Amino acid sequence: MRLKAVIEFDGRGFFGWQTQPERATVQGTIERALEQITGDVIRITGCGRTDAGVHALGYVASFVYDGGLTPDRLPIALNSILPRTIFIKSIEEVSDSFDARRDASSKLYRYRIIRGRSPLRRDTAWEYSYDLDIERMKLAAALLVGTHDYAALCEVDDPRHSLTVDSIDILEEGDEIVIDVRGKSFLYKMVRRMVGVATECGRGMIEPQTVLKLFNRTKPVQTITAPANGLVLVKVVYPKED
């Protein structure tokens, strides 16, 4: 059977999703749990990489499984041995052609900023001590939407510079600013750098129109990278769910 798993995880103790030698990753931890249950080495395909420290509410992975447990019993077995920072929310059988990464049509990332301090929420949001103008942040976000060369927002060289950001929505919820970013794929640290650009505009350090210079590689703009702990992959959407 080819299976689709929906996973929630606390990213603080992991170096991202993808397996890395000698480092704790979400993928590696789940693969070891599968091997412990089945006795076989099972490789799983994730919907994409996540930065070290980034969380997920609805990460999606796929893998081929021929063990004795049914799809509804497998999450119970996995959750009984996985660390409490990883939770398999559901597993279902899908078509043989399904690929969690290749078939994804869009992803929703959410970033939370706390205006000030919150000891209870600081592990899952960015405590921000400066005043932020929400309208200026929205102006900057609007300019980041569309199909552009986002090389200036990537920390490493990546051939996929031209990507499409479908939408960026910014709203206030009490003392929090919530930033929702939607798109099919993103470069390394791209979402966190877009948040950094929006906050710099909101703080008055740069003008919103300066964002347009980010799409010209010959005129780089200094950007900051928002902390990883404030970012969550909320949902991955596939064509049948559009």
pLDDT, tens digit, 9 for 90 and up, residues 108-166: 999 999 999 999 999 999 999 999 999 999 999 999 999 999 988 887 666 666 899 99
Give the pair of three-digit tokens for residue 153. Answer: 């927002």
Per-residue confidence (pLDDT) for residue 88, from 0 to 100: 98
For 5, counting Cβ atoms within 10 Å of its Cβ (0-12 exposed, 13-18 middle, 19+ buried), the class is buried
Per-residue confidence (pLDDT) for residue 157, from 0 to 100: 67
Under 8 Å between Cβ of 49 and 188: yes
Q: What are the percentages of helix, strand and coil residues in the chain, rounded to 5?
A: 25, 30, 40
Report the 10 Å Cβ neighbour count for 121.
15
Q: What is the mean pLDDT of residues 83-99?
A: 96
Per-residue confidence (pLDDT) for residue 68, from 0 to 100: 87
Q: What is the mean pLDDT of residues 38-49?
A: 94
Q: What is the mean pLDDT of residues 208-227?
A: 83
Task: Show which residues are catalytic.
Answer: 51
| More confident call, 107 vs 242 | 107
- Give kind and range of the element (H or E) at residue 200: helix 190-203
Q: Which CATH number, 3.30.230.80, 3.10.20.740, 3.90.1150.10, 3.30.70.660, labels domain 106-241?
A: 3.30.70.660
Q: What is the mean pLDDT of residues 26-41?
A: 96
| More confident call, 241 vs 196 | 196
Per-residue confidence (pLDDT) for residue 39, from 0 to 100: 92
CA–CA distances in Å: residue 118 to residues 26, 124, 161, 234: 27, 10, 36, 22
Residue 208 has pLDDT above 80, yes or no: yes
Enter the CATH code of domain 2-94: 3.30.70.580
Domain boundaries, the chain: 2-94, 106-241
Does 106-241 match 2-94 at the fold level? Answer: yes
